[in-house]
Structures are given as C-alpha cells and as structure tokens.
Amino acid sequence: MDLSELKSFVDRKWDDDLVHRLVDYVRVPAKSPAFDASWQAHGHLDAVVRSAEQWCRAQRVQGMQLEIVRIEGRTPCLFFDIPATGGLGSERTVLFYGHLDKQPEMTGWRDDLGPWKPVIENGLLYGRGSADDGYAVYAALAAVQALDAQAVPRPRCVGLIETCEESGSPDLPAYLELLAPRLGDVQLVAGLDSGCGNYDQLWVTTSLRGLAGGVLTVEILGEGVHSGNASGIVPSSFRIARRLLDRIDDPKTGEVLLPELHAVVPPERMEQARVAGAILGEQVWRQFPWVGCSHGPNEPASAVAHSMPTTTDPLEAILNRTWRPALSVTGAAGFPGIDEAGNVLRPRSVFKLSMRIPPTVDAERATWAMKRALEADAPYQARVSFVPDHGGAGWNAPPTAPWMQRALEEASQRCYGRPAAWMGEGGTIPFMHMLGERFPQAQFLITGVLGPKSNAHGPNEFLHIDYAKRLTGAVALVVAQAR
C-alpha cells in the first residue's frame, strides 16, 4: 500500500465531497425520537437517511448492495453490504456502525453559531450532529474506497447506520434480529461514535458506561397555597426531594452511595487509564467550559480558583468518568419561570435523573436500586414516585488480539506519528453491548472524533476536520489487516 496515496485519496475525498455533505447534513434538524415525538410527520430522519443512501449509491463501490431497511412504526436504518476483494472470502465480516439522529438544540450557542447553521472556522465544522455521528457513514465508505483505489485486499464490509441512538437505540434490537442472517461472521466491529482524548493520535475506546434513570416526583399538596400562610407548617416539596437525592449521592463529593451501582475496575483498564492520564495531564479536566476562567493550557494552577473540578488528578478524573457512577439532574418540572414565580408553596417537584453506571453494572438492577432508595419511607409521608424511563447496558471490550494490537499501533503511527492510546468513555452506546453479546469472538475498534471542547450534545458542537481525515485513514489501515 502506498501510504502517501492513501492520505491523498482521503484528503481529497474529505475536501471535495465529505465536508460539503456534512454541511448539508447539519442544516437538517433530524432530532432523535426522544426529542421529536412527531419525527415521522416531520420527515427529518427520513431525509438524512435518504441523503446518505443517495450519496452511497453515487460512489459506485463494486458489488455494493444498499438499502434503507424499515420496520413498521420504527425509525429507519441504512444497511450496506460490500463483498471482499483480493480473493478473500466473504464469510468473515467487518461491521461498521454509526447513526444519523441528533440531540436537540440546547441553549448557549455563540451568537454567530447555531445547531442547524453549519459554520467552518479554523478547520472546525460547527453545528449539531456532524461529529455525533453524521460523519460515520461517509468516513466508513471513504475508508473502503481508499483501500479499493489501490486494490488492497480487504474483507467483506457491512454497515448498519441507525436513527435512534440518541434515544437509547430502542429500535436497534429489532433490526439486529432482522439483519442477523445477513451480517455473517463478524470479526471486527468498527464503531465510529466515540471520542478521542486529544487530536494527536488514534484513541481506542475500551469501555462505555451504562445508563439508568427516570423521573422523580415528590407531591405534598393537592394544589399550591400561599407561602406566607403555609410555610413552616407544610414542608417544601423541593426540600423533601433534596433529602431523597442525598440518599443517592453525597452532596459534598458527588460519590454515589448505593453499593449496587459500583464495580471493581479491572487491572488492565486501570493501567490504560494511568497511561492515558500521563498523556493528557490536566487536559482531562481543563477541556470543559468552566465559569470564572478559561482554563487554557498555559494558565497557572491558581487560575482555577473560581471553578474547580471534583479532582485535578488525571488518573482519578479518568476513572470518575469511565468506571465510577455519577448522578445528574437533567430536567425539572413543577417550577414556574422566574418572572411568574409568586409567593406560592408549590404542590410538587419533579426531576429527571440520569445515572451513569460502570460498564459492568447491570442497568436494570441499578434502576431498581435507585427506585427502592428513593421511594422507601418518604419524609413527611409525602407521595413519592420514581418512574424509570430509560436505561442502557454498559460495555467492556474483550481482550485485544495480537493482530489488532499491531494494526492499531501501526495505524496510529502512520496516520498521526504517535502511538495509539486506550481509554474508556463516559457515554453509552447500547449497540456495543448488543454486538458484544451476539458476536463474543469479535474484535472492537470503537473510536471517534469527539475530542476536547467538541461539546457533543451541548452548544458550539464541532467536528475537527483534520482529525476526521486522519481517522478515516487509520480505520482503512486496520480494516486491511482484519483477515
């Protein structure tokens, strides 16, 4: 393989084609069904799937079969199947995974940016979804094309691109069951929906946290009453909820108090986290948009006085976001806006809870542990309910095969000039757990472009274009070794 030609091919493909496709993709508000109950009527998910299908067909990849697969009442999936080349048999398969649905708008975008407004600035493509995960189907096919352009032998490649990942992939099991006979013997899963610790080398995701959550409702009155008349006699529903949440995590440290939600960190993952911490240093926590200072890479430690992370130790920070549980309150109801807030003791407080759990903790068991803790012995005999509304299993990668280890190191050195690095991620991709159970012998290349400050799900989300180019080439090199 001519590596300079591989790089030239990938760079041209991105500059002349893929960037333009992603600019168009950003403009479409293809929100995941959890954030758009009328997704079928709006047609945005269908639009991005059809656009990706049309682009794939236009590539004229030899022997490729392509279709939009639909199950009544479920979000659509794009499926492609490309035969092996160079005399390799097609019974063994590389499976590419990605998704085309997006998170909602979120507030806080820069005045000149917006979720559906693509802007290219300093090599970054701003807008919702291009990095999470619209680029995946385009990069996957570009990697295959880069190998075929030089007649490099490669295995059969199939792709499954879903449209409900941001909702927890509720439709994916049905599609996996439907398509299982067509997947073959999957030897490598290339999932392009993850992150990178920096933009300097290939990062391989070793684990993903799971997710447990639901809606906590605390009711103390049948209707609101004058706070001057009732406060001091009627307890605040907010104060009751605050006491209940203190059963779940320590309000001072954030440490989760339920033993069912913890797991032992495997020695291999501990060592990988230690190496990643040495590579990234304070960037592990400096990457976030703290209030009070910018936390630039050259700022002295005293600059963080206004906003402090839970820990400044890189190893502990990595473990906190990859192998330890953490609770977030992501929404609330029962509260009037500031302008409408009168002197009223509110009858109820409602909170949406999101609990990230270690990769090996059972999500259902974690959810029921939360429910028991929150609903037992309610203070003041308030009416308390915790209704689970979502969840997802975590994932821990199988041991890395020697060929995979060599391929990853070579790909990183040749595409980035630095060794590969391994680290867990704090997010959840239910597809990985599903594939891990279905193909226990497969190797997993879980990677992605969501690096420092890329801010997936939040304002000012961006795709680092140069990193995506290099990643496309690296994926191609690994695929070429998967035989």
Classify burial at 262, counting beta carbons within 10 Å of its beta carbon; exposed 0-12, middle 13-18, buried 19 or more.
middle
Look at residue 63 and tell me whether its pLDDT is greater than 80: yes
Residue 208 to residue 358: CA distance in whole angstroms: 8
Classify burial at 127, counting beta carbons within 10 Å of its beta carbon; exposed 0-12, middle 13-18, buried 19 or more.
buried
Classify burial at 47, counting beta carbons within 10 Å of its beta carbon; exposed 0-12, middle 13-18, buried 19 or more.
middle
Annotate 122-136 with three-state secondary structure.
CCEEECCCHHHHHHH
One-letter amino acid identity for 458? G
Residue 114 to residue 1: CA distance in whole angstroms: 41
Q: 3.40.630.10, 1.10.1040.50, 2.60.120.650, 3.40.50.1360: which CATH number matches 3-208+394-481?
A: 3.40.630.10
Whole-model pTM: value is 0.89
CA dihedral 303, 309, 312, 315 (to 10 degrees): -150
pLDDT digits over 117-150, tens only? Answer: 999 999 999 999 999 999 999 999 999 999 999 9
User: How many CA within 13 A on the CB side of residue 4?
Assistant: 0
Residue 125 to residue 9: CA distance in whole angstroms: 20
pLDDT digits over 2-23, tens only? Answer: 999 999 999 999 999 999 999 9
Contact (Cβ atoms closer than 8 angstroms) between residue 315 and residue 270: no
Rounded mean pLDDT of the chain? 94
* Range scoring the smallest mean pLDDT among 288-302, 404-418, 430-444: 288-302
CB atoms within 10 A of CB 481: 16
Look at residue 303 and tell me whether its pLDDT is greater than 70: no
Number of H helices, E strands in the chain: 15, 18
Look at residue 305 and tell me whether its pLDDT is greater than 50: no
Look at residue 299 and tell me whether its pLDDT is greater than 70: no
Look at residue 294 and tell me whether its pLDDT is greater than 80: no
Strands (E), 209-293: 210-219, 225-226
Would you state the pLDDT for residue 304?
Answer: 47
What integer is the mean pLDDT of 60-68? 96
Look at residue 355 and tell me whether its pLDDT is greater than 70: yes
One-letter amino acid identity for 432? M
Reference 465, options 449, 481, 448; nearest CA is 449
Look at residue 92 and tell me whether its pLDDT is greater than 90: no
Q: How confident is the model at residue 296 (pLDDT cuts 50, 70, 90)?
A: low
Q: How confident is the model at residue 429 (pLDDT cuts 50, 70, 90)?
A: confident
Could you give the angle at which helices 465-481 and 3-13 cross, rounded to 10 degrees? 130
Fold type of domain 210-392? Alpha-Beta Plaits (3.30.70)
Going from N- to C-terminal start, the domains of the chain cover 3-208+394-481, 210-392
Non-local (6+) Cβ contacts of 150 within 8 A are 1, 2, 5, 6
Return phi, psi of residue 188, to 5°: -145, 130
pLDDT digits over 323-332, tens only? Answer: 999 999 999 9
Reference 453, options 255, 216, 288, 240; nearest CA is 288
Would you state the pLDDT for residue 293?
Answer: 61
Q: How confident is the model at residue 427 (pLDDT cuts 50, 70, 90)?
A: confident
What integer is the mean pLDDT of 67-77? 98
pLDDT digits over 211-225, tens only? Answer: 999 999 999 999 999
